[in-house]
Structure 1
Amino acid sequence: MTTTAPSEVQKIVSPEEWQLRVDLAACYRLVALYGWSDLVFTHVSARVPGPEHHFLINPYGLMFDEITASSLVKVDPECNKVITSPYPVNPAGFVIHSAVHAARPDVQCVLHTHTRAGVAVSAQKNGLLPISQQSTFVLASLAYHDYEGVAFRDEEKPRLQADMGQANFLMLRNHGLLTAGKTIADAFLSMYIFESSCQIQIAAQAGGGELTQVDPRIVEGVGQAMKVQTGGLGGAFVWPALIRKLDRIDPAYRN
């Protein structure tokens, strides 16, 4: 089987898939830029438009600030390559992502991180606390999944799917954070808020004083507040500005 060179990828995929590749490569670069990457050991996946149930995932072994649109690997639900690629993939790393994609047809993008603040809060018995404005946006759609070891066993999938349900934020106990979005932009904005909530919590706890908590009624009405904040656009409200930021720094992710 001949290998498809990255430079040839744009010629053989649809315009819709190419745009998805550009956005996903941008997301990887942004994850690196904001300090959320864990060397090469986490993933962001995106469902490719169409009935084939194909996904894009990172070429395993590349740093997130090296990833480009053409280097992303297209795989099936079992993480088998659909388009030949010179890059390896990590089937074990796709277990969590494939579980979410299988259970949630509404989700285009799954973003998973192992940040220091995220793992620290995931290790706390009470999880994320309602102590900041940021946390209220997360708590309105947050689920938890207990740690079962390194997530490479398919038998864990049904339990993870049941725990997550229809939530868009998932705290993987003793492991890290996960967001699911209808678009890549939505998943990224959700992770920005999730990560910020965890950083704020760790900083507040480090202060040593008694913490005040937000009235639960505010959490209940946070959905409308988020619509107001983003003009009803969700992640699409901030995504163009993030793309402009990346293009100023290094537009090579578009290649």
Structure 2
Amino acid sequence: MTAPLPLLDLNADLGEGYGDWSMGDDTAMLEVVTTANIACGGHAGDGRTMRAASRAAAAHGVTITAHVAYPDLGGFGRRFLDIAPADLTDQVVVQVGALQAMARAEGAQVRGVKPHGALYNALAHHGAQAAAVVRAVQELGDLPLVVAPGAVAVETAQEAGIAVVLEGFADRAYLPDGTLTPRGTPGAVLTDPAEVAAQALSIATAHGVRTADGSWVDLPVRSLCLHGDTPGAVELARTVRSHLEEAGVHLGAAL
């Protein structure tokens, strides 16, 4: 008998507006995903957007994680910042704390921490920044940390007693070393629904993906990300969920 597939989390980066400016269709995405990574003031987000996203996630029964980032509104958190570890720790504590307050006001709770953009990529190899983020998570009460397989932050968090949720990406191309193809590189962001669904199925059922050069990358992940700002994000998310369910993949929050 074939063993049942493990529970898989579908997460999306939401609440990425600021003031009167908005990005993506959060309401539609919340009808598809099981976890919402809500921006909390680093790369996007303010009090209004955090409150609205928390309220909407709670109404849909969707789990909330804090989508922390470098303090880089102008660059949408996609530029590496060589900031002091102590300052990075404070940034994470402040950002998560703000979202926790807004979520609590809406009867919800922040269940984990997921770094965004350049900070997420840095945690794959930057030991000092990984330690700074883990330190912040410890100060916040040992929330689980969402990171990529093989990231230096995985071992750092586990050594500190922090739970880790490994994550893959349905709509991003991978390099042979298991890292994401840098944005700006042709083909880095996948936008074809069939291609995105196929990669999601590969990660969910075969626990890995093929890269552009044909090599295989193992991705033993518990959560699968769908970017809310990818062109056609809602269609992509619906297609991915439909294909996963048809394949017998059970969906549910990882936290």
Q: TM-score, normalised by structure 1?
A: 0.31
Specify the structure having the higher radius of gyration (Cα): 1
TM-score by length of structure 2 reads: 0.31
Q: Which one has the bigger helix percentage?
A: 1
